[in-house]
Amino acid sequence: MSRLIVEGGTPIQGEIWVQGAKNSVLPILAATLLCEGPSVLHNCPRLSDVDAAVQILEYLGCQVKRAGDTLTVLPDTACRYDIPDDLMREMRSSIVFLGAIIARCQKAAISYPGGCELGPRPIDLHLQALRKLGTEIVEEHGFLDCQSHGRLRGAKIVLSFPSVGATENIMLAACTAKGTTEIINAAREPEIVDLADFLTKCGAKIKGAGEGTIEITGVEEIHGAEHHVIPDRIAAATYLSCAAITGGDLTLRGCSPDQMKSVLPLFEEAGCRLDYEGENIHIWGTVPLKPLKLVRTMPYPGFPTDAQAPLMAMTTLAKGATIFVENIFENRYKHAYELMRMGADIKIEGRVAVVEGVDALHGAQVCATDLRGGAALITAALAAQGETVITGVHHIDRGYETIEKILTAVGARVKRE
C-alpha cells in the first residue's frame, strides 16, 4: 500500500492547472452508454474513480480508449445489463449507471454501491424515481433486479432532498423515455449543468438544468458527442486551502470562479487576498489566518460538503475559533480525529465541530479514511512542523490526480512510497 510523506513548513508558490471535475466525469461516462456512436470527452483526470467507471463500461461491452486527458467511448458493442459486485463496490457514485442501463437495456441487475464511508446515503430517492418512470425493482440481499418492459415513461418526480445522484439518474433515464419528465427540487450543482450540456449535445431535450425544476422531453435515441468536462471546484478549493495555511502565493488556472461563490469569500474572511477573473484565481496567504465565523454545508449554491474537510484543516492554525455545521452527511468528521493527532484542537458534538486554532501543528502518523478527509490531512501536513506520514492514500487517489507531483511542482515537499 502507498503512503505519502510530507515535510511541512514550505509555502506553496507557483501555478496549478485545475483538473477536470471528478463529479462531472462519472455521470457523463454513464451517459455515453445511452448514445449511438462514439463520444469524445476531454479534460478527464486520471483518477481511480474514473478508472472504475471505465471498467464498468468495458464490462458492459463498450470500447474505451484514453489519450492523455481525453477518453473516447464507443458504446455500440455494449451487450450486458449487469454490473458485478466488485465493480459496484469501487465507488459510491456507481449507482449513476443504473438509470442509463435501464434506459438502454430495459433491465438491470446490480448490487448496492460502495466507496467512502460517510454515513447513510440511501439510494431510496433513485429507486423511487425510477419506479415512477416505469421500472419494476426487486430488492433482495443487497442486490437490485430491475425491468421496465419497454421504454420508460415520463413522469413528474418531486425529490424530498435535492440529491445530485438522484437528479443525474433521472436525467439519464428520462432523456430517451416516452413523454416529458419533470424533476421538482432538482439538484443545482454545476456538475448537473455539465451533464445536461453533454446530453443536449447528444440530442437530448433538457430545460432548466441548474435551477430547481428540470424538464426533460424524451427522444427516441441520442448520438455521441464531443465535450470538455468542467474544472473540479473541490480540487481548486483544496489547493487554495494548501496555499492559505502555508502563507503561500498560488495561481490556479483553468478553473471557474463563478462556481465557487460560496467558497472564495471564506478565504478572504480568513485574511487571504484573492484576485480572480476569467478562468484564473490568485491567492496570497497570510500567517496567521483569521478564524471563520461559521461554515455551514448546504446543497449548491451553498457551501459544498466536499470542501468542508480541507477548510477545517486550514482553520486549525487560525487565531480563534471556527464553527462547522455539517448538514449533508452524518459521518463526515473522521478527519478531525486524525487532525487531533497532529495537535489540532477540535471538539465535535453531532453535526457541529468547533475548531480552536493552535499555534502550531506537528507531524504525525495519520490515516486517510475517505477522499476529502485525506485532502485535509495533506493540507494540514504542509504547514505542520516535521514529517507527517499519511496512509490510506487510495482514498485520495479517487479524487486527486497525482497530488504529490502537483504539490511538489509548487514548492511542497511531498513524496509517495
Give yes or no: residues 132 and 261 share one domain.
no
Give yes or no: residues 273 and 157 share one domain.
no
Give yes or no: residues 272 and 261 share one domain.
yes
Please provide the distance, in angstroms rounded to a whole number, between the alpha carbons at the two ends of the chain.
Answer: 8
In three-state form (DSSP H/G/I as H, E/B as E, the rest C), the secondary structure along 325-348 is ECCCCCCCCHHHHHHHHCCCEEEE
Domain-terminating residue out of 174, 200, 228: 228
Give yes or no: residues 216 and 342 share one domain.
no
Give yes or no: residues 110 and 36 share one domain.
yes
Specify the DSSP element, H or E, that contains 281. Answer: strand 280-284
Q: Which are the catalytic amino acids?
A: 116
User: What's the pLDDT score for residue 119?
Assistant: 45
Residue 120 confidence class, pLDDT cut points 50, 70, 90? very low
Give yes or no: residues 161 and 290 share one domain.
no
| Closest residue by Cα to residue 171 from 252, 78, 103 | 103
Contact 167, 159 (CB under 8 A): yes
User: What's the pLDDT score for residue 59?
Assistant: 97
Give yes or no: residues 214 and 340 share one domain.
no
pLDDT for 291-325, tens place per residue?
A: 999 999 999 999 999 999 999 999 999 999 999 99
Which amino acid would we find at residue 119? G
Give yes or no: residues 307 and 202 share one domain.
no
3-state secondary structure of 20: strand
| Cis status, amide bond into 45, omega within 30 of 0 | no
Contact 72, 89 (CB under 8 A): no
User: How many domains are there within the chain?
Assistant: 2
User: What's the pLDDT score for residue 118?
Assistant: 44
User: What's the pLDDT score for residue 122?
Assistant: 67
Domain-terminating residue out of 173, 204, 228: 228
CA angle 404, 406, 412 (to 5 degrees): 65
* 123 labeled binding residue: yes
Q: pLDDT > 90: what percent of the chain?
A: 92
Give yes or no: residues 364 and 222 share one domain.
no
* 328 labeled binding residue: yes
Q: Please give the grid coordinates belonging to residue 203.
A: 440530442
Give yes or no: residues 141 and 214 share one domain.
yes
pLDDT for 146-204, tens place per residue?
A: 999 999 999 999 999 999 999 999 999 999 999 999 999 999 999 999 999 999 999 99
Give yes or no: residues 248 and 391 share one domain.
yes
Q: Which residues form the domain of 307?
A: 4-19+231-416
* 125 labeled binding residue: yes
* 124 labeled binding residue: yes
Domain-terminating residue out of 166, 201, 228: 228
* 23 labeled binding residue: yes
pLDDT for 342-388, tens place per residue?
A: 999 999 999 999 999 999 999 999 999 999 999 999 999 999 999 99
Stretch 215-239: mean pLDDT, rounded? 98
Number of Cβ atoms within 10 Å of the Cβ of 243: 29
CA 244 from chain centre, in angstroms, equals 22
CATH number, domain with residue 79 = 3.65.10.10
Classify strands 280-284 and 294-296 as parallel, antiparallel or unpaired: unpaired
Contact 202, 31 (CB under 8 A): yes
- The whole-model pTM stands at 0.96
* 121 labeled binding residue: yes
Stretch 279-294: mean pLDDT, rounded? 97
Give yes or no: residues 220 and 235 share one domain.
no
* 253 labeled binding residue: no
Stretch 39-49: mean pLDDT, rounded? 97
